[in-house]
Structures are given as C-alpha cells and as structure tokens.
Structure 1
C-alpha cells in the first residue's frame, strides 16, 4: 500500500490531468450529440466524425494508455539504467504529452457542445509548445532506444548521440516557436503547411547530421 501511495504522490499531477479528462467527459456525456467531430481538413473544416462514446472517451483512453507506456518503456529498454541520468527531462516529456492530450480533448468537447473554436490554432499551438518543451531538454537525453533521435548512427555510437541531440535541441525550440507564431497569426492552411514543413526539418536535419558525424569519427 505504501508503494502505491508513494507512486501516486510522485505522479499526482499527471494522474489528476488524466482523471479530470474522464470526469469532464463523463459530466458532459449526456449533452453530447451522437456524432462528434474527430477530424479537420487543411482548411480547418470538419471532415470526419466519431460516435459519442469514442468522441467522449477516446482521447482520455489514449492518454491513459500513454501513461502506462511511459512507465513501461524504461523497464524494457536495454539501456534502462540511463533513464536515471535524465529523470527531469523524461518527466517533462511525460507532462507535456499528457497536457497536450488533455488540451485536445477539451477542444473536441467544446466543439461538440456547439462552441466555435479554432481547432487548428489550438492543436497547432499545443504541438508547437510540445516541440519547444522537448527541445529544451533534448540535450539532456542519455543513450537509450525509446526517447530521442534514434538513427542507426546515434544508437551505434554514444558520441554521435550526444552531438546530434545538442544540435537538434535548439532546432526544435526555434521550430516550435515559428510554428506557434503561424498557429496564432496564420490562417488554417498556412499554419498547417508551416507545421508540416517544420516537422520535416526538425526530423530530417538531425538524421542527416547524425550520419555525417558518424562518418567523421
């Protein structure tokens, strides 16, 4: 019992966020329509719907699944000992993902209840802030198989891992800031295109960089 209470105390904020999404969804469930918007096109227009149950509890269930996944991963990673070397960075990643899921769920519920919400802006802004958060701690990631930039070259050589993450960290922060600006001030189409371009850049550049660094060793 003491171990469970200690565990809950350590993760109380995340547990509270996930629990709140279920409670809010359950509270508004009787007021929700039978069809709930679940997908928006590049212009910010609804082009997909889900049933009421999935619309109300799909994202909270995914959030809960990710909670257990984040707990499980360090135990099965061959380099699990390294997770103890970046606990604050790993914790921030967990917090950021769970808060993003909660924010998306709140947006979906508001739209389903008839409120006029700029979904593209909120989701784009949330994703952008996630990039900034990850970028701020990326340089602290230690060698592992699940968190960070995992290419054949970063996984094969720890020096390549360190240099790649130190290079990518500011790239992710800047990319997140630019994407956030587009999400707030740009239109639905321009902000979506900007987000896709930025995702491509912050993903591809570190891959190429890790290969180049590996070849120079």
Structure 2
C-alpha cells in the first residue's frame, strides 16, 4: 500500500503546526506556561513552557505519521492491509485531525481566542464515527482492526465482529459528540466518553469469543490459516 502522499501531507501539516507554535510563543510574555493536559473536570492539571507545550502536538503528529508509514513495510499480510486501506487511512487522518485540534486548544488563547476543551472531545467523537464507518471494510491483519485470538483465526468471525464493532464505534462517537455539545459538567462528559469507549471495545471482544465458540460447537470453524490466505 502506498503511503508516500499521506506521509508528505502529514509532515507538511506538522511543519505548519510547528510554525504556528513558534509564532504563538513569540506573542506570549517570557516565562508563560501553557496547559498540556486537562483533568476529568476540564481543568488544566499539567503545564509546560509555552514553546514546549505548543511544539508537542506537531511533534506527535510527525511521529505518528512516520509510524503509520512504517506499518505497510512490516505487515506480513500485504494484500489484507490493502483491503483495509480505508480504515488505515481514516485512522491516520483522524489522529492527525485530533492533534490539530489539540494544537489549537493550546495555542489560540495566545491570539485572544479561547477554544473550549470540549472541542478536543468533539474531535475524538467525530473520529470514532468515521472510524466506525470504515471498520467493517477491514480484513484480518496484524496492525489494523479488532485483533483478538478469535478474529485472527477465522475470517468469518473477523467480518461479523467488525460489522458489530463498526456500529458500536459509530454509536460511541455519536454519544461523545452529543456529550461534548451539551451543557453538562466536564466530569459527566468524561464518564460518557469512558463508558462509550469501554462498551465499544468490550462487546466486540466478547462477541468474537462467543461467535468463535458457536462455530466450533457446530464444526464450522474455518481452517486456522484462512485468515492469512488471499
């Protein structure tokens, strides 16, 4: 799978983010500390010098871009990764988008604009919705998708699990988006996020185990190596 274009785009975005970081830091008084983490109440609980705080998101964006570009080079199941390209690219762009929002949340106050921390939650919710839509299109592989012992050893279990997982991930994303927009306490927003993500992760895992054992009881399991065949 070709990733050169996405890697170049990611690095260009990271450079632009770094430029924004430098310009913003120059506008701030010497010794200014900016938030780098927020607690469940939506209050900053960790700070760093302005330039360091502002350069963290572009550094992470660049690092993740390089990481994503390496995956196709080390994935043994190249044909399956190609079939999962929609999910792979969506995850890459989704993480990059979240990093941009984090950068803006940290840096815009230096320009007199305040971006609420809920904007980050909103971005994560949107990413979940988009990822959930792409999830059923994936095929067994070692780096992309819901990788349990039961999905990796039976293609039919993989497909069924990802159909369910995609729906649950979209619902989780929708719940997170709604929570980020409602005038509720940040602690309650955090609870919605944790519960939604937990459900979207746990149910498909249990379902893959249950479905695999149902197929085993009926003698319908695919050969162990089916997940590795094109």
| TM exceeding 0.5 | yes
- Aligned residue pairs total 211
Q: Tell me what 2:126 maps to.
A: 129
Residues 31, 170 of structure 1: alpha-carbon distance in 2 compared, 3 angstrom cutoff: same
- Which of the numbers 17, 21, 26 marks the counterpart of 2:22? 26
Q: Tell me what 2:51 maps to.
A: 53
Is 1:160 matched with 2:124?
no
Following the alignment from structure 1 to structure 2, what is the Cα–Cα distance between the partners of residues 8 and 149?
25
Is 1:175 matched with 2:172?
yes
Query: Structure 1 residues 31-40 or 143-152, which shifts more?
Result: 31-40
Q: Tell me what 2:80 maps to.
A: 82
Normalised to the residue count of structure 1, the TM-score between the two structures is 0.89
Normalised to the residue count of structure 2, the TM-score between the two structures is 0.84
* Structure 2 unaligned blocks of 5 or more: 216-230
Residues 10, 39 of structure 1: alpha-carbon distance in 2 compared, 3 angstrom cutoff: closer
Following the alignment from structure 2 to structure 1, what is the Cα–Cα distance between the partners of residues 3 and 88?
16
Larger CA Rg, structure 1 vs 2: 2
* Structure 1 unaligned blocks of 5 or more: 1-5
- Which of the numbers 10, 17, 21 marks the counterpart of 2:13? 17
Superposed CA offset, 1:123-170 (max 9, x none): 110110110010010001111111111111112222211110011111
- Structure 1 or 2: larger helix share? 1
Superposed CA offset, 1:65-115 (max 9, x none): 000111101211222331222323322221111111111111111245564
Instruction: Verify the 8 A CA contact 2:81 2:144 in the aligned structure 1.
Output: no
Kindly report the root-mean-square deviation, in angstroms, between the aligned alpha carbons of the 2 structures. Answer: 2.0
Instruction: Verify the 8 A CA contact 1:8 1:15 in the aligned structure 2.
Output: no
Following the alignment from structure 1 to structure 2, what is the Cα–Cα distance between the partners of residues 7 and 137?
18
Q: Tell me what 2:189 maps to.
A: 191
Residues 25, 168 of structure 1: alpha-carbon distance in 2 compared, 3 angstrom cutoff: same
